[in-house]
């Protein structure tokens, strides 16, 4: 089996590469990644030593490069993780999100049709469903929930999902889509909530909480997401959407306080800052379909996953300090300087 993993130098893609190499020693895994600010080759250091793994630097929206790679490799399965993934950046510069997340998806779908790929899997997000109210805990996102996006990021992901479904209907492209809730775990880029708070708390720096801190996200350990995608690409029904989430809703402020508690740092580091524009209030996934059809259930409880994650950031300081000390410094100043 030959699998193309796009965006494999990023957070979830790299965890997926390691999951697949460990579980399927007979598979060949090729990673196509543009190495944007979010992609990091050092993340794939161990994978690069595996003869079954190959890294190719390139853009999923570059038709010629994609065509050349598909011609050379004859992939059985394509799993598309590559995306611009940060909501705050999409508010500053939407265009890049449309190019990578929509046109990049179209470029990959066209190549799948041209070269007869047996499965194209689109890694999507629960953010395509918009948000839920805080006072209705009974409401969850199902696969039937209408798409209703808030940010340029989520709009670009929803557009890509519609395109993937259109290719299934129009050309019969063998697709599946998964929509997962917020992930956490190793190799999470330190601009996102959990790694940002861990890295700043360790440096005794202020922790910027948006708005009232009561926004709720449904957190899933990244390995559980990878296992769900593994099940979908092997056993999922073509043309279907699968929601992935572990019924683990937490408010941002509770997460930040938990991190401070584990690190033995004071709550006085918490600083409430101006809210994100269009900030989604609550996400919550109903994963009943993937459980019933594929037997998937999350294995890592949040209490264990967050401890493992914090320990990983303590053990791998060089990985995130290299990022924080680079171009990222300017980003932090620009995004948070006057907030």
Q: Does 258 bind ligand TYD (CB under 6 A)?
A: no
Active-site residue flag, 153: yes
Identity of the residue, 14 or 215, whose beta carbon is nearer to ligand TYD in the bound complex: 215
The CA distance from 128 to 54, in Å, is 32
* Residue numbers at the binding site for ligand NAD (CB under 6 A): 6-7, 9-13, 32-36, 38-39, 59-61, 81-85, 100, 104, 123, 125, 157, 180, 182-183, 189
**Partner from ligand NAD, ligand TYD, none binding residue 310, C-beta < 5-8 Å depending on class:** none
**Partner from ligand TYD, ligand NAD, none binding residue 200, C-beta < 5-8 Å depending on class:** none
Q: Does 150 bind ligand TYD (CB under 6 A)?
A: no
**Partner from ligand NAD, ligand TYD, none binding residue 34, C-beta < 5-8 Å depending on class:** ligand NAD
The CA distance from 241 to 134, in Å, is 25
Site pattern 170..189 for ligand TYD (x: CB under 6 A): ------------x-------
Q: Does 225 bind ligand TYD (CB under 6 A)?
A: no
Identity of the residue, 101 or 173, whose beta carbon is nearer to ligand NAD in the bound complex: 101
With a CB cutoff of 8 Å and minimum separation 6, the contacts of 261 are none
Q: Which residue is catalytic, options 18, 129, 153, 168?
A: 153
Active-site residue flag, 64: no
Q: Which two tokens stand for residue 149?
A: 């996006």
User: Which residue in the set 24, 27, 210, 332 belongs to the binding site for ligand TYD (CB under 6 A)?
Assistant: 210
The region of 34-42, 104-112, 191-199, 297-305 touching ligand TYD under the rule CB under 6 A is 191-199
3 state SS of 244: strand
Site pattern 28..67 for ligand TYD (x: CB under 6 A): ----------------------------------------
Cβ of residue 26: shortest distance to ligand NAD, in angstroms?
A: 25
Identity of the residue, 45 or 212, whose beta carbon is nearer to ligand TYD in the bound complex: 212
Q: Which two tokens stand for residue 128?
A: 């395509």
Q: Are 285 and 244 in contact (CB under 8 A)?
A: yes
**Partner from ligand NAD, ligand TYD, none binding residue 189, C-beta < 5-8 Å depending on class:** ligand NAD
Q: Are 13 and 7 in contact (CB under 8 A)?
A: yes
**Partner from ligand NAD, ligand TYD, none binding residue 185, C-beta < 5-8 Å depending on class:** none
3 state SS of 109: helix
The CA distance from 46 to 316, in Å, is 14
Torsion sign over Cα 101, 103, 104, 107: positive
Q: Which two tokens stand for residue 8?
A: 């494999």
3 state SS of 66: helix
User: Which residue in the set 34, 89, 179, 192 belongs to the binding site for ligand TYD (CB under 6 A)?
Assistant: 192
Mutual angle of helices 193-202 and 317-324, in 10-degree steps: 90
- Report the alpha-carbon angle 236-223-263, nearest 5: 155
With a CB cutoff of 8 Å and minimum separation 6, the contacts of 289 are 142, 143, 242, 243
**Partner from ligand NAD, ligand TYD, none binding residue 3, C-beta < 5-8 Å depending on class:** none
The CA distance from 236 to 230, in Å, is 9
User: Which residue in the set 15, 215, 300, 309 belongs to the binding site for ligand TYD (CB under 6 A)?
Assistant: 215
Q: Are 296 and 227 in contact (CB under 8 A)?
A: yes
Q: Does 89 bind ligand TYD (CB under 6 A)?
A: no
Active-site residue flag, 126: yes
State the maximum Cα–Cα separation within the chain, in Å, rounded to a whole number: 57
The CA distance from 283 to 259, in Å, is 21
- Give catalytic residues, as residue numbers: 126-127, 153
Chain residues that interact with ligand TYD, rule: CB under 6 A: 87, 182, 192-193, 196, 208-210, 215, 217, 252, 276
């Amino acid at each position: 089996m030959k699998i193309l993993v796009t965006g494999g130098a990023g957070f979830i893609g790299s965890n997926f590469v390691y999951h697949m190499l460990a579980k399927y020693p007979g598979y060949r895994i090729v990673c196509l990644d543009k190495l944007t600010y979010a992609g990091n080759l050092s993340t794939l250091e161990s994978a690069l030593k595996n003869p079954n793994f190959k890294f190719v630097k390139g853009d999923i929206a570059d038709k010629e490069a994609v065509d050349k790679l598909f011609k050379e490799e004859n992939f059985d399965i394509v799993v598309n993780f590559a995306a611009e993934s940060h909501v705050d950046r999409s508010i500053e510069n939407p265009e890049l999100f449309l190019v990578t997340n929509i046109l990049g998806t179209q470029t990959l779908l066209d190549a799948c049709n041209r070269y007869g790929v047996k499965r194209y899997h689109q890694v999507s997000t629960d953010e395509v469903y918009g948000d839920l109210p805080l006072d209705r805990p009974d409401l969850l996102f199902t696969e039937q929930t209408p798409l209703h996006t808030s940010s340029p990021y989520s709009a670009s992901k929803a557009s890509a999902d519609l395109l993937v479904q259109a290719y299934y209907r129009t050309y019969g492209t063998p697709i599946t889509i998964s929509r997962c809730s917020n992930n956490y775990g190793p190799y999470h880029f330190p601009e996102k909530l959990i790694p940002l708070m861990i890295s700043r708390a360790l440096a005794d720096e202020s922790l910027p909480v948006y708005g009232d801190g009561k926004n709720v996200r449904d957190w899933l350990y990244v390995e559980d997401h990878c296992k769900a995608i593994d099940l979908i690409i092997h056993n999922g029904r073509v043309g279907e959407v699968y929601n992935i989430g572990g019924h683990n809703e937490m408010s941002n402020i509770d997460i930040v306080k938990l991190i401070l508690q584990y690190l033995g740092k004071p709550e006085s580091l918490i600083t409430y800052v101006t809210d994100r524009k269009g900030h989604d209030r609550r996400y919550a996934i109903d994963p009943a379909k993937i459980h019933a059809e594929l037997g998937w259930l999350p294995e890592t409880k949040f209490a264990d996953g967050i401890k493992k994650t914090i320990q990983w950031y303590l053990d791998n300081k060089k990985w995130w300090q290299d990022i924080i000390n680079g171009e990222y410094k300017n980003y932090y100043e620009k995004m948070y300087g006057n907030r």
